[in-house]
Amino acid sequence: MENQNKDLPQNKSKEVVIQANNIGVSFYANHRKDDFKSRIFRFMKEGSKTEVNKVVWPLADICFTGYKGEILGIIGSNGAGKTTLCKIITGILKPDKGEIYVDGKVSALFSLGMGFNKELTGRENVYLNGMMLGISKEKINHYIDEIHEFSELGVFMDQPMKYYSSGMKARLGFSVASHLDPEILILDEALNTGDTQFSKKAADKMKELVSKAKMVIIVTHSLKYAQNNCDRLIWLDNGLVRDVGDPVNIIEKYKATVPPPPPRRKKNLQLDRIDTTIRDNVVVKAKDLGISYKLGKETFWALRNINFEIKEGEVVGIIGHNGAGKSTLCKVLTKILTPDMGEIIVEGETTALLGYGTGFSPQITGTDNIYLNGMLLGIPKEKIKLNYDEIVDFSGLKKAINKPVKSYSSGMKARLGFSIAATLQPDIFIIDEALSTGDMEFKQKASEKIQNMMERAKAVIIVTHSMTFVEQMCTRAIWMEKGQIVFDGEPKETVAKYCGKVKK
């Protein structure tokens, strides 16, 4: 193991904000402090069976120092202990050994606006989330207009959050946490679903924060984002600190531990372009498509006048800002939503992976959720049983598969959700930001699996904020804004037009 306290000599003169000395967290593998509902599920499944308790250390002997004025990143594979460490820093968890010193008030934003109530409006959730962070109502009143403007939610600010996309929740969550004068701000996978424009705004805001507050801690699977925005990185691996230091050096070491893909693939996270043959027959056709709902007295069109055709053999990327209508379009294609105007024609069986862990029940185990989620995706129980071992093996969650899903990190849910959906052989496969929280190694595996699925499917539709992915993988790209198609064409041209607008 590398020296865990490897900080540069000049850091010794800086003000220490966080000091962790040999901290560790443990629990008994078979002694769970479940809520009442979970106990009922577990009793019905296991009865009164008991096993010898085994002590598990998700974090052990963690040592690091955080300094005033820095943006400190935390990277590592899913299940490495990143979220657990954040919960210790925020005081949600107490270490079972060691000591941690935190000089300042901590505001933490966990993935996708945890703590939001979907039945309340965005504005009401600002007050709810702010007060959960310990902010007074008077202070929230002072900042509410700035939060509204920064989040770019417009009229949605006063609408129930059940109408929000995951990206819109992320934007509001970040806007709340970053505008209420945090001394120490922790972002745990909070901006995974952020679009290009908002990610840049968030990065600028974080730099502004550390100039007048104390420090920012970012947990992320985006190595590029970590390298561009962090002053130092902590690399966690299996509950241990593998190394601390300069982002470029740490990322290089981390990448070296990721198993290479099969020889026929390139050694990166991008897929090889498929030698696909685009045929004349149309497999998806949207004609004057529209989806609307009421926002108070106004009618809001989530989709309006959408027209396109997708031919067999095409790999279509859908890009655009959060709230552009991308996820709504996916739900129409999968028949989750019915159009209010126009029509959608889909020739063939459609399977969609919409976000991560869609349909998962938090109280039951990963195993039970494989069957539940699989059947929600239209997979017969017999097929799930036949492919169960393959699903578990591919997800890499064998040790956690019999634990309740509520104990899973967002990345673990992403891995399990993808592994279930990937066992199908659909005619049309839709992926809506399903791997935004996946770690580097799993993304490599998933890329290989998607490659194979693309080679079998009639067409593939991918919603993503990764412009590089669209340029390298897609045969075509559709740019959406405010529920309408702005441009539909060759991937590089579409991305260039979209990015050109973002920079303005």
pLDDT at 28 over 50: yes
Q: Report the relative pairing of strands 215-219 and 428-432 from DSSP bridges.
A: unpaired
Question: Domain segments of the chain: what residues?
Answer: 9-20+62-256, 282-503
Tokens describing residue 440: 């580097």
C-alpha neighbours within 13 Å on the C-beta side of residue 126: 32
Residue with tokens 């935004």: 436
Residue located via tokens 């995951």? 166
Distance of CA 107 to the CA centre of its chain: 20
Span of 6-10, 30-34, 92-96, 122-126 with lowest mean pLDDT:
6-10
Between CA 231 and CA 235, with CA 233 as vertex, the angle to 5 degrees is 180
Token pair for 67: 């300094």
pLDDT value, residue 264: 47
Q: Among 49-53, 359-363, 384-388, name the most confident range.
A: 384-388
| pLDDT of 45 strictly over 70 | no
Query: Left, alpha or beta for 396 (phi > 0: left; psi -120 to 50: alpha)?
Result: left
Quick one: pLDDT band at residue 454, thresholds 50, 70, 90?
low
Listed ranges 1-15, 318-332, 422-436; the one with the highest mean pLDDT: 318-332
Average pLDDT over residues 393-398: 88
In terms of average pLDDT, the best of 201-215, 243-257, 371-385 is 243-257
3-state DSSP: the chain helix, strand, coil percent, rounded to 5?
A: 40, 25, 35
**Cα–Cα distance for residue pair 417/456, rounded to 1 Å:** 20
C-beta separation of 25 from 58 below 8 A:
yes
Q: Crossing angle of helices 410-421/381-395, nearest 10°? A: 130
- The whole-angstrom distance between residue 20's C-alpha and the CA centroid of its chain comes to 27
Using the Cα atoms of residue 173, residue 174, residue 175 and residue 180 in order, give the sign of their dihedral: positive
What per-residue confidence (pLDDT) applies to 244?
94
Residue 319, strand partner residues:
479
Summarize the confidence of residues 24-36 as an average pLDDT: 62
Mean pLDDT of 85-107: 89
Asked if 155 and 300 count as a contact pair (C-beta separation under 8 A), the reply is: yes
Give backbone dihedrals phi and psi of 186, rounded to 5 degrees, phi first: -110, 125
| pLDDT of res. 309 | 94
| DSSP code, position 407 | G
Q: Is the pLDDT of residue 67 over 90?
A: yes
SS3 235: strand
Rounded average pLDDT over 288-317: 88
Burial class (CB in 10 A: 0-12, 13-18, 19+), 19: middle
- By DSSP bridging, strand 298-311 and strand 16-28 are unpaired
One CATH from 3.30.1050.10, 3.40.640.10, 3.30.70.20, 3.40.50.300 for 282-503: 3.40.50.300
Please tell me the total number of residues recorded for the chain in this structure.
504
Cα gap 326→161, rounded to integer Å: 17
Does residue 302 register a pLDDT over 50? Answer: yes
For 432, phi then psi, to 5°, come to -110, 90
**pLDDT of amino acid 160:** 85
Asked whether the predicted pLDDT for residue 42 surpasses 60, the reply is no
Q: Which residues contact 169 (CB under 8 A, 6 or more apart)?
A: 112, 113, 116, 161
The mean predicted confidence, pLDDT, of the chain is 80
Q: How many degrees, rounded to 5, is the angle at CA 101 between CA 100 and CA 106?
A: 105
Considering 63-72, 277-286, 375-384, the range whose residues carry the highest mean pLDDT is 63-72
pLDDT at 5: 45
Superfamily of domain 9-20+62-256: P-loop containing nucleotide triphosphate hydrolases (3.40.50.300)
Q: Is the pLDDT of residue 10 over 50?
A: no
**CB-neighbour burial class of residue 362 (10 A; exposed 0-12, middle 13-18, buried 19+):** middle
Q: Does residue 37 have a pLDDT over 70? A: no
User: How far, in Å, are 278, 315, 322 from residue 489 at the CA level?
Assistant: 15, 12, 21
- Apex 32 CA angle, 26 and 36, nearest 5: 145
- Per residue in 154-206, pLDDT (tens digit) is 888 988 887 787 778 888 888 888 887 788 888 876 665 556 678 778 888 88
pLDDT per residue over 240-299, tens digit each? 999 999 999 999 999 888 776 555 444 343 445 555 678 888 999 999 999 988 776 778
Q: Which residue has the higher pLDDT, 421 or 121?
A: 121
Instruction: Judge if 9-20+62-256 and 282-503 fold alike in CATH terms.
Output: yes
Task: Report the distance separating Cα 217 and Cα 85, nearest Å.
Answer: 11
Phi, psi (rounded to 5 degrees) for 62: -80, 125
pLDDT beyond 50 at 2: no
When pLDDT is cut at 50, 70 and 90, the band that residue 458 belongs to is confident
Q: Where are the alpha helices (DSSP H) in 118-246?
A: 122-132, 137-151, 166-179, 196-212, 223-229
